[in-house]
Amino acid sequence: MVTYLDADTAPLRNTGQIRLYGADAFEGMRKACALTSQCLDQLAAIVAPGVTTNTIDRFVFEFGMDNGALPATLNYRGYTKSTCTSINHVVCHGIPDDKPLRDGDIVNIDVTYILDGWHGDSSRMYPVGTVKRAAERLMEVTHECLMRGIAAIKPGVRTGAIGAAIQTYAEAERCSVVRDFCGHGVGLLFHDAPNILHYGTPNEGVEMREGMIFTVEPMINLGRPHVKVLSDGWTAVTRDRSLSAQYEHTIGVTKDGCEIFTLSRNGLDRPGLPS
Ligand code: MF3
Ligand code: CO
Ligand code: CO
């Protein structure tokens, strides 16, 4: 049995109950998410062959500091970086290091800033130099999955409608949906109830209500959906080493749909892809 509660009075830990946020929270989330989105905009001019993911990580840290925000991943469950950088067959949680990006790579950069207690969580794919058509197509399909999932969000509808929209499109495009990671409630906490699955059917999941805030962040593979986590305890890769892509937005459920808090102000939601 799922219960919903007022975010102002609820305890600050994930109790499995779903927080319903009010107008002040939406205002706080707009600001935190705008900062995350601005950082991802600026990274479009930084990502290039020869640049290391540690350089990207340092930029994310400093951009946060300069704007009064802390990266939520820093010291999160033992993670020590300010961002995740997931290259090619890395599905998610790639750890920045000193290896330079190479021409033809595709990299997901995932940033979460905490600003005044509010978490803004978003990620985008960045092509490095010139990428193969198959890689470009995977990024296009994955972004379309994200936006089709978001289009299904509405009070009274179950969260399964999001997953159904994503899975239907991904599989029609001969791609597969990763099952091992999902979207999540976000706001005062980084990872909160409910889980948002990127596959399934419209009659599954909890009913969406006005005031819910969560992420949609499908991971889509060119090959099979299966993943494994490397011995570093974080890096998730496709078992068949096929390419994987991901885009993520943080949204708030409104009276008749949703507000996307992490949209780019500069048309850079799909860096390097034709808009
Ligand atoms: N930002 C990721 C998400 O979208 C979570 C990263 S947790 C970390 O939920 F510890 F791996 F950084
Ligand atoms: Co997330
Ligand atoms: Co994220």
Among residues of the chain, what percentage have pLDDT more than 90? 93
Quote the pLDDT of residue 175: 99
Going by alpha carbons, the residue nearest to atom 4 of ligand 1 is 121
Mark the residues whose beta carbon lies below 5 A from ion ligand 2.
Answer: 121, 215
Quote the pLDDT of residue 275: 73
* Residues near ligand 1 (Cβ within 6 A): 73, 76-77, 79, 84, 93, 110, 112, 121, 217, 234, 248
Among residues of the chain, what percentage have pLDDT more than 70? 100
Tell me if the pTM is above 0.75.
Answer: yes
Separation in Å, CA 210 to CA 4, 5, 118, 154, 183: 11, 12, 18, 8, 18
Euclidean distance between CA atoms 207 and 242, whole angstroms = 34
Q: pLDDT confidence of 72, banded at 50, 70, 90?
A: very high
Q: pLDDT confidence of 16, banded at 50, 70, 90?
A: confident
Q: pLDDT confidence of 257, banded at 50, 70, 90?
A: very high
Quote the pLDDT of residue 213: 98
Look up the CATH architecture of domain 17-260. Alpha-Beta Complex (3.90)
Quote the pLDDT of residue 227: 98
Q: What is the mean pLDDT of the chain?
A: 97
Give the position, in ligand 1's atom list, of the atom nearest the Cα of 84. Answer: 12
Euclidean distance between CA atoms 197 and 162, whole angstroms = 8
